[in-house]
Structure 1
């Protein structure tokens, strides 16, 4: 649990962001890496958040696992799933495995690994799936603060065990394609779980691979005078399986994968990431704490959470900002 002051009010998230980084070796990957992919893993393994995220209600915190693996040609892929169509929220969406923080989760990494195990049967072994990095959090539309945890799968013989009530399908997608406006030209042969199939469907559909829409900010319940003056950009990528009923990769999942790919490949995407005047994550979180929706307000009341005190910390937080300059990290490599 997060530290509390004498009144029992949460004051920090620092305990959630403690994690173990085993030493990685390039020769441990099941397939030889391309030079570009090796550099990607170095960039990710040396990435550090500027500082842990400021306080936020624990019951409104979540994590997702960005599970990468090396294909036979040496390229990097990410595992994605299609949520079950019977779920009450985000039914049928294309997503990363993840979910809310449990009481027993000591760190945000524990949350991501546990959820991936429960949803798709991904082992929680930290040596077979070593941690690469933790990214700065993202704020979901339901005001849940989501932290991405990036790992590397070193065992390409893993077999999926899908939790049918939660997951319908598992597939993979090239990581580099989240920096591109055009669909990846080809897919790899099968790898761990179900590696990306051929993308002939997309060519037949003649649809644009990457598109975006700008959603007004703040949230709809706002009475702010400038609510229509700013927006948050939502990106959309086709999977190549739309003809079969698969939804595109959209919104929060797309944003997380854009950030992961940009750090890995050390370059910004081919398209503008943010809308003009888009608020940074710290501004959006501080605003939500001061103008919470019903569920966030109830969570803060249950946890005796000091919203204004936390919002002031978020006001000054400089993590999570999108930077268009070089992504080179100055941390010694562990590879």
Structure 2
């Protein structure tokens, strides 16, 4: 079944550069791997908003730095989003509601257009996270965003293509090497291979990207790498996966541990070398 083409008015697409329009068209036509979300309790479902917009002919993505007072992932980079509420109709409504609460993005804004979805990702908290991709046609909307006290410390942006070609971020006013927000010697990008006990001891490659604020890493990095790969139809200029990560683990399947009441998630064997793992770890 072909991916749904959400309606975007021609004049909105005509505002984009030819290259950015091609990126949006690829994202609109993308057919993600799916999971039966009805098999999972609402308490284990979440959604995030990948809000794209164009500056100087290139697509950028809206990001936040989580408040340092939060118990979960304090001070880390995140896409606007959160857990599904019982009253949410779908992942789009969850992502937009959370974006409104976290950064004040207007609900039902005529300048925000639904583009599509990516496959679900599994977070370190064992949440099944669905990324929703949207296009903002008026960047002046960003001027009215306000970080929610206690939830968001900072709102910033990053070039989407830099998630597959980190050198493209050199044009940004990046955090200094060795600083609080980039305490590494490498200039733009590094990774650590982590063995995950609750996923059959599989290896997972946790990427980190230098930015103008907090590092883009873990779940957020994995979602944006995938979005950039689809949008720009190109592979990353770095080794995306840890050994065994690509060939052994791909599709999400629910699994109920016999010794635990909580629903766990494991990944089945990959069906092809083109499949991509769905687990992501924040660290």
1:322 paired residue among 263, 267, 276: 276
1:259 aligns with 2:222: no
Which consecutive residues of structure 2, in runs of 5 or more, have no partner in the other structure?
278-283
Go from structure 1 to structure 2 and tell me whether the alpha carbon gap of 1:108 and 1:208 turns closer, same or farther (over 3 Å shift).
same
1:167 aligns with 2:186: no
TM-score, normalising length: structure 1: 0.70
Q: Flag the structure with more relative contact order, 1 or 2, with Cα contacts below 8 A and sequence separation at least 6.
A: 1
Go from structure 1 to structure 2 and tell me whether the alpha carbon gap of 1:111 and 1:281 turns closer, same or farther (over 3 Å shift).
farther
Secondary structure at the aligned position of 1:185 is classed as helix
Aligned to 2:251: 282
1:103 paired residue among 86, 92, 103: 86
Go from structure 1 to structure 2 and tell me whether the alpha carbon gap of 1:102 and 1:154 turns closer, same or farther (over 3 Å shift).
same
Cα pair 1:182 1:208 within 8 Å, conserved: no
Go from structure 1 to structure 2 and tell me whether the alpha carbon gap of 1:165 and 1:53 turns closer, same or farther (over 3 Å shift).
same
Go from structure 1 to structure 2 and tell me whether the alpha carbon gap of 1:318 and 1:162 turns closer, same or farther (over 3 Å shift).
farther
Displacement after TM superposition at 1:120 (Å): 0.4
Q: How does 1:132-147 map to 2 (within 5 A)?
A: 132-147=115-130
Question: Structure 1 CA distance, aligned partners of 2:22 and 2:138?
Answer: 20
Aligned to 1:9: none
Which consecutive residues of structure 1, in runs of 5 or more, have no partner in the other structure?
1-17, 188-197, 242-246, 301-306, 324-335
The structure richer in strand per residue is 2
1:177 paired residue among 145, 162, 172: 162
The number of equivalent residue pairs is 265
Question: Structure 2 CA distance, aligned partners of 1:19 and 1:38?
Answer: 17
Aligned to 1:46: 29
Q: How does 1:1-335 map to 2 (within 5 A)?
A: 21-25=6-10, 27-28=11-12, 32-53=15-36, 55-71=39-55, 73-125=56-108, 127-158=110-141, 159-187=144-172, 198-199=173-174, 201-202=176-177, 207-219=186-198, 227=201, 230-241=202-213, 247-278=214-245, 279-282=248-251, 285-286=253-254, 289-291=255-257, 297-298=261-262, 300=263, 315=268, 321-322=275-276
Instruction: Give deviations 1:109-164, integer Å, cap 9, x for gaps.
Output: 11111100110011222642111111100000111111100000112221112211
Cα pair 1:22 1:127 within 8 Å, conserved: no
Go from structure 1 to structure 2 and tell me whether the alpha carbon gap of 1:201 and 1:59 turns closer, same or farther (over 3 Å shift).
same
CA RMSD of aligned residues (A): 3.1
Displacement after TM superposition at 1:46 (Å): 1.4
Cα pair 2:4 2:28 within 8 Å, conserved: no
Secondary structure at the aligned position of 1:253 is classed as helix
